Amino acid sequence: MSEDKFIFTAESKKKIFIMLGLGIVLTILGIITVGGHAHEDGNGHAFHWLHRLYANLWLNNVFVTGIAVIGVFFLAIQYAAMAGWSAYIKRIPEAFGYWLPIAGVLTLVLFFITNFTAPHHFHIFHWLDSSLYEVGGDNYDYIIANKQGYLNVPFFLFRMIAYFVLWSLMFFLIRKYSIREDELGGTEQWSKMRISSTVFIIIFAITSSTSAWDWVLSIDTHWFSTMFGWYMFSSWFVAGLSVITLTIIILYENGYLQNLNSSHLHDLGKFIFAFSVFWAYIWFSQFMLIYYANIPEETYYFLERMKSDVYAPLFYANIFINFVFPFLFLMTRDAKRHTIFLKIVCVALIFGHWLDFFLMIMPGTISENGGIGFMEIGLFLVFASGFLFVLLQSLAKAPLVAKNHPMLQESLHHHI
Amino acid sequence: MEKGKNYILGVFSDEDILLTAIPQIRESGIKIEEVFSPYPVHGIDDVLGYKRSKLPIAAFLFGMLGTALALVMQFWMMGVDWPMIIGGKNFASLPTFVPVTFELTVLIGSLGMVGVFFVISDLKPYAKPKIFDLRITDDKLVMAIDLAVNKMDKAEIVKLLQTSGADEINEKSFED
């Protein structure tokens, strides 16, 4: 079974379409329950259900884009570190990259839809409000006006396109070598992949931070945090690792990747465990510095979340789901080596880091009008089914195991 | 029988032969005291039937002790013994205690684990090391069988070691 190819059956496609349909139904249900008519929120801004829908679209898009790019990043660190253990499973994160071009188009389209078509001059990004830059005007904002050199639409779009072009380019380059390796064998393709992986890591080191500033941090335009790039990267990384692990386990349980052993799972589990702790470390570092320094323009970010009826319970749940739970649950060796434990943790962490992004994006965009309802679940299912469809289709494009990977034998005998 | 501890040593030069010899010897009812190797041999723990070390449990408990000590210390110092206003915070504010708590958890957890490791491995400053064979730090794998715990005859053990592929069979005694 080592050369088996994944078959994307009609039945799986049907299930994904049912998921998509369920997501759309739930979203419509959510629109009805949120209410179609305008009402005022606490700050005097008019609220419309489209605001919440748009904020959700942006949230899910950023989250799923992150999972896709983390697939490529995970692959790249395996090559850069000359890792042997992952040779057997490397085609799974490799398939994630196919979402990137789609994500690029989606992000571009959603940027225009969510920022320029909503009623009541609603923007996801506060800095798009042109009245902020009119010197002497009522709305003139000295701080935001000073950020205009970085936060303006042409440069923003240029960066957005640059990220996706660079990420996709590096991904397709790595993928090309990977497919060629299947045909030709030898170690030459591996060396080429190692170089392109290193280049990708250097690109991603910069773009993971800047894309975090652009897509999420700039929602709260006044606020700034030097930890933010790392914070969002770690959240993406844990979510991506969870999706990779869950995909591998589900494939294994459906008869693929039968040479997978508990040591592979152990390593994946260690990755998830370690980066959950890393996420908590970054999250807490950001929180504690702001808490300790007590500067008003920084603390309001946490006040919005901790002193809010809508977000406070989720704020504490976030720490519990993403740190306390995986920390205690995955601590033992046995938990990391058994699929059932990993499945529970992966599902919890995928939800948990979606919640983390929810807490990054929602308070700054729709403040107290947010919440987790049918709309949130529905749109998550819509994006998840889209990602899953592309992922499974990409998995079927190439054999599940890179049969000529120079370290495949080492991976098959992986033992820790 | 001589005084002290008497061992029969099977000297192997190939790990694959050793890995097949161990189950044969264990199946015939001989208890192997220890196997010495100059490098880690994959899968040797399994064939020797070693149980997993309980050291992680000690580490966890010492870590918890560190957490508890750190929190008690800080709450007592900052909240009870000498309250000070720092940055307008409460006297006892949990977030500010987290870094110290983290550090003490790691410190006491690791020191405790090292201590426990020394105790269970019998590593003490005045301990006299039992050197079975100098070549175990070079290129030989040595299996040590304690004669006192095995009921089997010495000649029989020697014969078994020979058939299972040992290069040399030596005897070694240590005075207690």
pLDDT digits (tens, 9 = 90+) for A2-29: 457 888 899 999 999 999 999 999 999 9
Give chain A positions within 8 Å (CB) of B60: 331
Q: What is the pLDDT of residues B11-67, one digit of tens each?
A: 998 888 989 989 888 888 888 888 999 998 888 888 888 888 889 999 999 999 999
B168 and B139 in a single domain? The answer is yes
d(CA B48, CA B167): 20
pLDDT at residue number B1: 47
Q: Is residue B125 part of a domain?
A: no
Give domain status of residue B90, yes or no.
yes
Domain range enclosing A68: 10-412
Location of structure tokens 């490529």: A72
Report the pLDDT value the prediction gives residue A134, as an integer from 0 to 100.
86
Q: Which of B41, B45, B98, B100 to mutate to test the interface with A (most CBs of A within 10 A)?
A: B98
Question: What is the domain count for chain A?
Answer: 1
The CA-CA-CA angle for residues B149, B154, B159, to 5°, reads 120
Ramachandran class of A134: left when φ > 0, alpha when ψ lies in -120 to 50, beta otherwise? beta
Residues B60 and B114 in one domain: yes
Nearest-angstrom CA–CA distance, B14 and A348: 47
Whether the pLDDT of residue B98 is over 80: the answer is yes
> Between A262-293 and A296-306, two packed helices, what is the crossing angle to 10 degrees?
120
Task: Give the count of domains, chain B.
Answer: 2
Crossing angle for the helix pair A339-366 and A228-253, to the nearest 10 degrees = 140
Measure A279 CA to nearest chain B CA, in Å: 15
Mention every residue, 6+ apart, whose C-beta is less than 8 A from residue A184: A404
Using the beta-carbon criterion (under 8 Å), do B42 and A284 form an inter-chain contact? no
Partners of residue A293 in chain B, C-beta under 8 Å: 87
Average pLDDT over residues A125-144: 87
| pLDDT at residue A297, as a whole number | 86
Q: In this structure, what is the dihedral angle of CA atoms A210, A306, A288, A243, given to the nearest 10 degrees?
A: -50
Q: Which of B42, B60, B98 shows the shortest C-beta gap to A288?
A: B98
| Arithmetic mean of pLDDT over chain A | 91
CB contact under 8 A, B98 and A291: no
Q: Is residue A3 part of a domain?
A: no
pLDDT at residue A83 is higher than 70:
yes
Per-residue confidence at A108, pLDDT binned at 50, 70, 90? very high
Q: How far is A288 from chain B (nearest CA, A)?
A: 7
Q: What is the pLDDT of residue B176?
A: 65
Q: Which of residues 321-340 of A touch B (CB under 8 A)?
A: 331-333
Q: What residues does B172 pair with on adjacent strands?
A: B7
Partners of B95 on chain A (C-beta within 8 Å) are 287-288, 291-292
- Token pair, residue A404, equals 């000529």
Chain B residue numbers with beta carbons less than 8 Å from the beta carbon of A332 are 56
Supply the range of the domain harboring residue B81.
Answer: 55-120
Are residues B71 and B83 both part of a single domain? yes
Q: Do A288 and B52 make contact, defined as CB atoms within 8 angstroms?
A: no
Q: Would you place residue B125 in the very low, low, confident or very high pLDDT band (cuts 50, 70, 90)?
A: confident
> Does residue B34 sit in the same domain as residue B60?
no
**Residues of B138-160 as b/e, b for ≥16 C-beta within 10 angstroms?**
eebbbbbbebeebeeeeeebbeb
What are the backbone dihedrals phi and psi of residue A294, each rounded to the nearest 5 degrees, phi first? Answer: 60, 40
- The C-alpha atoms of residue B49 and residue A386 are separated, in whole angstroms, by 49
Q: Please, which residues 252-311 of chain A have a Cβ atom closer than 8 Å to chain B? A: 284, 287-288, 291-294
How far does B54 lie from chain A, in Å, by closest CA?
11
pLDDT, tens digit, for every residue of A260-306? 999 999 999 999 999 999 999 999 999 999 998 888 889 999 999 99
Residue B156 lies in a domain: yes
Contacts of A25 (CB under 8 A, 6+ apart): A378
- Shared domain for B21 and B78, answered yes or no, is no
Output B72 or B153, whichever has higher pLDDT: B72
Q: Which of B81, B97, B120 is the last residue before a domain boundary?
A: B120
- Judging contacts by C-beta atoms under 8 Å, the chain A residues touching residue B43 are 415
Rounded to two decimals, the ipTM of the complex is 0.81
Q: Residue A94: is its pLDDT beyond 70?
A: yes
**HSE value, Cβ hemisphere, 13 Å, CA-based, for B85:** 1
Residue A366's pLDDT is what?
86
Could you give the percent of chain B with pLDDT greater than 70?
98
Q: Which helix (H) or strand (E) holds B159?
A: helix B154-164
- Residue A2 has what pLDDT? 43
Asked if A415 lies within 8 A of B88 by C-beta distance, the reply is no
In a domain, B35, yes or no: yes
Q: Do B96 and A288 touch (CB under 8 A)?
A: yes
Q: Does A293 reside within a domain?
A: yes
Q: Is A415's CB within 8 Å of B43's CB?
A: yes
Structural tokens at position A192: 């080429």
Residue carrying structure tokens 């819509």: A382
> What is the per-residue pLDDT for A43?
54
- Which of A37-41, A369-373, A395-399 comes out lowest in average pLDDT? A37-41
- pLDDT of residue A56 exceeding 90, the answer is yes
Are B60 and B110 in a shared domain? yes
- Residue, of B165 and A24, whose pLDDT is higher: A24
CATH number for B48 = 3.30.70
Q: Are residues B69 and B105 in the same domain?
A: yes
pLDDT at position A411: 92
pLDDT at A45: 64
Residue A293 to residue B87, Cβ atoms within 8 A: yes
Q: Does A416 touch chain B (CB under 8 A)?
A: no
Q: Which residue has the higher pLDDT, A129 or A42?
A: A129
User: Which residues, in sequence order, are CB contacts of A360 under 8 Å at separation 6+?
Assistant: A216, A219, A232
Query: What is the band of A38 on the pLDDT scale with cuts at 50, 70, 90?
Result: low
pLDDT of residue A236 exceeding 90? yes
The verdict on residue B153 lying in a domain is yes
Count the helix, strand and coil residues of chain B and give each as a percent rounded to the nearest 5: 50, 15, 35
- pLDDT tens digit string along A197-206? 999 999 999 9
Whether B45 and B9 share a structural domain: yes
Domain assignment of residue B140, yes or no? yes
**Tokens standing for residue A64:** 């799923």
Give the CA distances from residue A99 to residues A173, A230, A341, A388, B53, in Å, rounded to whole numbers and listed in that order.
15, 23, 28, 9, 44
Query: Could you tell me whether strands A39-40 and B5-12 are parallel, antiparallel, or unpaired per DSSP bridges?
Result: unpaired
Contact A292 B96 (CB under 8 A): yes
pTM metric for this prediction: 0.90
Q: Which residue of A has its CA nearest to B43?
A: A415
Closest chain B residue to A277, measured at CA: B102
Contact A287 B95 (CB under 8 A): yes
The answer to whether the CB atoms of A332 and B96 lie below 8 A apart is no
Most confident of B81-90, B94-103, B131-140: B94-103
Are the beta carbons of A287 and B52 separated by less than 8 Å? no
Give the number of residues written for chain B: 176
Give the range among A33-37, A217-221, A224-228 with minimum mean pLDDT. A33-37
Q: What is the predicted pLDDT for the residue at A44? A: 54
B87 to A294: CB separation less than 8 angstroms, yes or no: yes
Residue B95 lies in a domain: yes
Asked if residue A52 belongs to a domain, the reply is: yes
Average pLDDT over residues A152-160: 95
Could you tell me the two tokens for A226? 């030097």
A69's CB contacts (< 8 A; 6+ apart) are A96, A97, A100, A167, A204, A208, A236, A240
Distance from CA of A294 to the nearest CA of B (A): 7
Question: How much is the average pLDDT of A218-244?
Answer: 94
User: Are both B144 and B165 inside the same structural domain?
Assistant: yes
